[in-house]
Each structure stands twice: as C-alpha cells, then as structure tokens.
Structure 1
C-alpha cells in the first residue's frame, strides 16, 4: 500500500510516517517511480508505534523495543526476550516517579494557595 493509504488506515499523517521511517521504526520499499510501498503488516506496526509514543516513550527507545515486541494481533515477536519486560517495567517505573513528583508539587501548591488565601 502507498503512504496515503497507510495514513488513512491508521489516522497518522504522512509526515509522521516519513518520520517513523527516518527513525528506523517503519520500513518501506520503493516503486520504480519512487513511491513508498508498505506491506499490510505496517498498519499494525504504526498502531504499536502510536501506542508507545502515547505511553511517553521516545523514538530511540521505541526503536530498541519494537523488534522484541509481540505483534498487535497477539502473535509473539521474533526476538521477544526477558529484556523487553524489564525495559517496559523500567519505563513504567519512570512514569510512576514522575507522577509522584507531580503529586508532591500539587500538594505544595495547595499549601501555598491555602497560606496565601486562607482557604
């Protein structure tokens, strides 16, 4: 399929799809006319990439993790390893720490508001 169809099927812009290729997250071949051609599995790959971005991971981390991940349809990734789980848990722990920091900041701000306003 061409880039426009992949963009339509995944609701991801063509610009983002080109970025994913530049970062090594997505692969295409070229037609003799120079157009990008994507295999059908690219739809699932783009969905997985979007999920990982939504989880707060950056493209370099995603590039490391993708080869080890199960496919979106639940089939095992060819290179699935215990390392993958460790990396995903580490990312979740990082988010937990950030959430804790934000909750402490909110608590301090609540105290400042109370002291400033008497409420």
Structure 2
C-alpha cells in the first residue's frame, strides 16, 4: 500500500468530493465502509476513515474467499450500520453527493429507520 502523501489534482480541489469504497456480505448489506475526503491539497493514508460493520446476515463464503477476505468472525464484535451512520453522515455532510455517496447516505438512513 502506498502511504506517501498524494497531491489532489487541481481539477478536484474545492469540489467537496470524497472517495467512498464499500464491501458487502453477498446479501446487499455493507460490512466495511472507507471514506477519503478530498478536501485538502494533499491527502495521505491517515486521512482515510474506515469502519467495519456487523451485518444482519452472515457473510457468504464465496464473497469472503473471492472478494475481500473478511469473514463473520472479523465483524462479530463490530457495531451495526445504524451505530456508525451518524459518523459517516457527519464526515460526508460537506461532500458533494455523487451517486456512490448518495447511495451510502440512503442506505445509512434506511438502516437507521429499520433498526429503531
């Protein structure tokens, strides 16, 4: 993994953009969320925010083996998505809602309403 600081291209500066990556359990449920806000001229590994999430259903063995390597025991003691949704929403609040970010916000909001 490259841990060197990375200059944000001029075309992306001041655009309120974040790079969002999610991993799932094979049932359309998020098990990991990583966010890198591109809100400064130079970003590095310390700027990435990452959460593991305990999904409502188990992670399928095929997804564990072929996609990300995360298994049920890795997320067993992690919070549910509804518990981390406020932190993610706060982090993304100033970001421009591109389609990936918007999907994550909608999923977090849905999780919050269904878990109450």
Q: TM-score range by the shorter chain?
A: under 0.3
TM-score by length of 1: 0.25
Structure with greater contact order relative to length (CA < 8 Å, sep ≥ 6): 2
Q: Structure 2 length as normaliser, TM-score?
A: 0.25
More strand as a share of residues = 2
Higher helix proportion (structure 1 or 2) = 1
Choose 1 or 2 for highest CA Rg.
1
